[in-house]
Structure 1
Amino acid sequence: MYAVIDLETTGLRTSWHDRIVEVAVVHVDEAGEITDEWCSLVNPDRDLGPQVIHGISATEARRAPRFEQLAGHLAGLLRGRVLTAHNLHFDVSFLLSEYQRVGIQVPLDPTNGLCTMRLASHFLPSVGRSLYDCCRIAGLPPYQAHSALHDARAAAQLLGHYLTATGNPPPWAPALAAATTLTWPPIPVGQVAPVHRRAPGSREQHFLARLVDRLPRLNEPQGDAYLDLLDRALLDRHISATEADALVATAETIGLARADVEHLHRAYLAGLAQVAVEDGIVTASERHDLDQVAELLGLQRCDVDNALAAACTGGIPQQRRRVDTWKFQPGDTVVFTGAMQPPRWEWEEEARAAGLQVGDNITKKTRLLVAADPDTMSGKAKKAHQYGIPIVHPAAYKRMLFNLGTPTTAS
């Protein structure tokens, strides 16, 4: 009978190239009972906009199917049913935009569906426009806002409240009949599994776990390409999902097994430990940095203890050491991307005050891209990856700004 939908998007307007990042559909029968539900994240192939609102990370979205991969299955969930949403015009405009983007014309029109927000003026007089207010006044249970599935469930329960109040047949019975006559084009249904949000507090699997544990193992694995990539990834003391994927791919390309990579990680940590003990004092800051690197590499605090002890006694071979070629200097060009707090213009003013140039777009002269989410799929990030320009989180950038012009030493 009814297909209640909700979307999370990168912004408010399709005319600003905003895209869907999560879609949920809840089926409701003529009695107002929920009979089925479906939800998936959607890869928008761009930055995710106000992530603080919808709470979806680029790590999750970049591994989700694109809209065209879900288009056929989604059409099957909507076909023959009355499209319903809280603020139907908004959801329909985005669905139409996404289908049009892949060259498919679908029979969606806000005038042919039900909007629980507009119906509230009849069933819930004097209530506010928000879904939260409508559900509260209707006596419905609280829900997790800005999650497509939870919002769709709440709207479905609100529709059930309306159906109970109006009796049978409802005043929108003609819309029910019209929905069954709408002609949908044939859209292939791909074999793509939906991707759901990560449970709150769950962590990304460490990239080491994705490496193959195979034989033979190398006695002294030659992993310069891997270590060079690791240098860039650890520039901001954070390994993003994009960087983790690249490390795994590089290890597999040059034939490194998991044990080989663990060997390289210990050698890398040992090199850092050598640098830390050179002046005879390991400061609290240096120890914290070593512990942080060890955790990122899948090692333990005891591995740091062992590396420092070996470095102090000369019990390890001389490690490859170099002054990192990446130096943040006055006059360098920095570019910002993503929705930031405080606003981006404040970050840009601070950068200029520190003697940096601020660019609007990525060029080969750009020194650094600061991204609200380092896994962002924005156009700026794509160019940065193409040119080999580091992408860092704002917190890491602040540390770099504090040490502006100071060379860093890496193993």
Structure 2
Amino acid sequence: MTTDPILELYNHQFAIISLETTGISPQHGDHLIELAIQTVNWNGELLDSYETLIHPGKDIEGFQIHGITDEMVKNAPSISEIAPDILSRLNGKTLVAHDLDFAIRFLEPALNGKIANLKGICTLKLANLVAPDSGLRRLEQLCTYYDIDLYARHTAKADSLATAKLFSILKNLYNQKFEIEDFVRDFLFVIKIDDCPNGRNIFIKRKEARNIANIQKTRLYDLLNRLTSNAGDSVPVRQYLNVLDRALADRILSEREIVSLVELASDYKLSKDQVMKIHREYLRKLIRIYLLDEILTNTEMEDINLVSELLCILPKDLDLLIEYERTKIQITTPGLQKQLKSLKGKSVCFSGHLSCKINGERIDSELAQQLVKERGLMVKRVVSKNVDYLITAHAESFSGKGRKNRKALEYHINVMDEKIFWEMIGVLVD
């Protein structure tokens, strides 16, 4: 039983690869510094996209061409670390590249001979078959000729996406001139890898690398690196956070503020890891407050990114914090719009310490005020005739002790148990 060549093509996938290197010859010590793989089907639909910078293990020269500097690849994975990601994306597919021979010269040794006699489709050669008289060979020339947008030349991602579009055009033009069986016979080289490893999805993109490089240039990052690597026994989280709150109020860290933070950490013998843990927790709580309405606006994201950079938190760690908070149990009870509308403008005052928790964490005064404000109510610091509800952790044992309590009795203010109040305004508590 013969396989239908058209059906075979429609069920097939293509790995469009583009790379940037330190030079033109791996035999003379040049290495990969960036790689991108776009997985597409016969119709040109994008199924998967992968890109990463690669640490070459040597200094980079000629960065003016590709814009990749030593600082950008400082934290990038090595080729051996991303080999499983490359192999898993090539396995079972046909490799496509512009100037395929150049790509293979770097890929085969980089993958430690895991793929021998690598073959595929070269869009440069395919273009010569389709339009032999054009005389065009460079990717940007062919993109201009076929009206393909190449928005950032000499970046692996942009080049691979442009190559994918070029391939889609060229294979359609080829099939107008030749039989589709010819294409299957001459171009469909399916890569088969024995014991192919599973992808690990390790990568660092250009934007992230630049952000990391910028963070590592900051004065705070430099001073934090001078802290002890041995964790201290006492962690003055509250004291450190108080200083941090004041320093970040204007979203600027002055030299004096940076020195004060590091001196405090040094006095308490905090390690860099302990300080960064406090920084991540500070940022996590900020993200949580912004996510109370389950939406991160552009303004909120700008503030989160700014605080993240000031606290030397890497972009990938920020993404994990946001993802963590997004996936936590929703704290807003659905279907309460009408009830909240009737409560809009009402004022509340909290008496004593709060005891309720959200996802295992006690609601502090900052979060309590934010929860109330998000739902259209107002928070009052003192009890007056204008207060509608006095919230207390133990309403059943409410007494006239304390100034706020006496005022509440005097003004006949509604005293409400904290848990009942949270339920009333649609906050799910433990």
Name the TM-score, length of structure 1 as normaliser. Answer: 0.49
Q: Does 1 or 2 have the higher relative contact order (CA < 8 Å, sep 6+)?
A: 1
